[in-house]
Structure 1
Amino acid sequence: MGDSLSVADLVEVTDNKDSNPVVTVGSYDTSKEGDIQVEVTATDASGNSTTVTVSVKVVEKDTEAPVVTAKQG
């Protein structure tokens, strides 16, 4: 929770003419646990665009270290 999210790593963008379409990511909030929807839009040099909604599950980060104890005997 609260960490940044690299949505670009969750999608693959290709275009038949433009080797480097512009990818924009809508706003999102990772401060609360739960499922969120993030809109990702790709726009090519000709102005054609496609939008997809990506589902992301936000979970609380485990910050506690494991406990190790010596066995008796």
Structure 2
Amino acid sequence: MNSYLSEADALNVLDGQRKTIAKEIHSQMMAHFFEEATDFEVQVRLRAISEKPWRMWGASRRCCSVVS
């Protein structure tokens, strides 16, 4: 456009046609958009909590051992 319009005139044309330009860009983007359906089923489960947390550290690092 700048070859036959001044910068101010080109901006006026673009400003006046912004909705048309936006619709065209959107339609081009939607042509490349895809969404695949999944067969995944979400299941939320509570994590089991150990009654004795020191077991994960091993017998040598018990939290309440008495040093003599």
Pick the structure with more strand per residue: 1
Q: Which has the higher contact order (CA 8 A, sep 6+)?
A: 1
Tell which structure's C-alpha radius of gyration is larger: 2
TM-score range, shorter chain: under 0.3
TM-score scaled by length of structure 1: 0.26
TM-score scaled by length of structure 2: 0.27
